[in-house]
Amino acid sequence: MDIRRFAILGTVALGTSLAAFAASAEDVTISVWSLDRDIQPAPNLINEFNKMNTGIKVEYRQIQFDDVVSEAMRAYSTGQAPDIIAVDNPEHALFSSRGAFLDLSDMIAKSSVVKAENYFPGPLASVTWEGKYYGIPKATNTIALYYNKDMFKAKGLDPSKPPQTWDELVEAARKLTDPAANVYGLAFSAKANEEGTFQFLPWAQMAGGGYDHINSEGAVKALDIWKTILDEKLASPDTLTRGQWDSTGTFNSGNAAMAISGPWELDRMIKEAKFDWGVALLPVPEVNAERSSAMGDFNWAIFSNTEHPEEAFKVLEYFVSQDDRMFKDFGQLPARSDIAIPPTGEPKKDAALKVFVEQLKYAKPRGPHPEWPKISKAIQDAIQAALTGQMSSKEALDQAAEKIKAVLG
């Protein structure tokens, strides 16, 4: 009995002393949380960083998309937060406005690697709160119009002239819709989650609206166009409950002639789509109107209660220094205007990329506002109320504006 107890005590003591010894001999440890899987940037870049033996050791933990915010919040409020985290860009302001993220402005000003002017304005705005930078854009994406060139030809449309304006888009959709062949003119998503807002907001912005004046004349017109598309069955009624990935799936299978979605579709489309397709900029309200687009993807940030802000920033600097490989190695678009993305050798993908990079210039962040999810919910509800015919576009957006005003205060 006694001998056994001593043995256990001894092992425990040995274990703790070993751990203590290991920790003291160890370099500074920086923990990183992101949702990147093994084929995505974060874990790979961290492996490379650790091999360089800089005196900083980086530990990685993968978190699930749905858990990012709640997990991070729980960790932060109990003092267990990692040093570095990747958050979805509309959630960034929630953290920075409450001082949960470190203000990186001074470090960025001194850095020779991270330069604010290298970034697209949209992604940069999403990490900005009250004029200060609380993060670094990790990657970016946006949406544009995919179209089936073979179907354009078959219906007498010019495949080299995709629709430029909303009216042209509706007109093309009318010509392309073919119920007998199970073909809808357009596929997009008006789902009652963030995807619906992501897809609708660019339309409102192109027409002079925005989340803080969502009931402007242009936004109402945009919603009316969406309603026309659904009422005339130019898009599947399931647009209301289908996400972007599933909607674009119907485009790939030849059941929709056009689709609005982002560059994350490219690899699947190249594999699945058995027809010639192209990508065009999002149609605008009228010729020469202001362009706009949605902006997706994640930002890096450092938690304000980190014990090693300098070292954490060094890790971020390393990530940023590898931005030029992002597309080639990991299929993600860097959020930077100063990097020319090298061709991939796949002509359709390269052509599409050019369009997406052009479209990125007009990408606007959602918010930034700390209560973005509530604003977004008001917009989703308005879209759905109008598209199901329960309210007119004007009434629905007026109600949304009322709700958003309550949030904005």
Partner 1 sequence: MKRILASVTDGKGFDIGLVLLPLAFLFIMSGLPLVYNVVMSFQEVDMFSLGSFVRPFVGFKNYVDLFSQPETRPILLNTALFVSSSIAGQFLIGFGLALFFWMNFPGASWLRGLFLVSWVMPGLVVGAIWNWILSGDFGVLNFFLRETGVIEGNIFWRSDPNYSLWAVIIANIWLGTSFNMILLSVGLSGIPKDLYEAAELDGANALQRFFTITLPMMRSTIGAIIALGLIFTLQQFDLFAGITSGGPNNSSNVTQYWAWDLSFRQYDFAKGATISVIMIVFVMLASVVYVRSTRHEVRG
Q: How far is CA 260 from CA 2, 174, 200, 278, in A?
A: 73, 16, 11, 12
Among 373, 394, 395, 405, binds partner 1 (CB under 8 A): 373
Smallest separation, CB 178 to partner 1 (Å): 13
Per DSSP, the three-state class of 281 is coil
Q: At residue 89, what are phi and psi to the nearest 5 degrees?
A: -60, -35
Residues 391 and 200: their CA atoms lie apart, in Å, by: 17
What is the residue whose two structure tokens read 């092992």?
11
Q: Among residues 65, 94, 69, which one has the least CA distance to residue 375?
A: 94
Residue 401 CB contacts under 8 Å (≥ 6 apart), including other chains: 213, 214, 215
Residues 188 and 147: their CA atoms lie apart, in Å, by: 12
384 binds partner 1 (CB under 8 A): yes
Among 16, 17, 70, 321, binds partner 1 (CB under 8 A): 70
Identify whether the C-beta of residue 315 lies closer than 8 Å to the C-beta of residue 49: yes
349 binds partner 1 (CB under 8 A): no
Among 11, 17, 47, 182, binds partner 1 (CB under 8 A): 182
Identify whether the C-beta of residue 387 lies closer than 8 Å to the C-beta of residue 227: yes
Smallest separation, CB 104 to partner 1 (Å): 20
Per DSSP, the three-state class of 333 is strand
Which CB sits closer to partner 1, 155 or 374? 374
Segment lying near partner 1 (by CB under 8 A), choices 161-169, 278-286, 329-337, 374-382: 374-382
Among 28, 73, 154, 339, binds partner 1 (CB under 8 A): 73
Segment lying near partner 1 (by CB under 8 A), choices 9-17, 33-41, 63-71, 322-330: 63-71
100 binds partner 1 (CB under 8 A): yes
192 binds partner 1 (CB under 8 A): yes
342 binds partner 1 (CB under 8 A): no
Q: In the complex, which residues of this chain contact partner 1 (CB under 8 A)?
A: 66, 69-70, 73-74, 76-78, 94, 98, 100, 182, 191-193, 236-241, 250, 255, 373-374, 377, 381, 384-385, 387-388, 390, 399
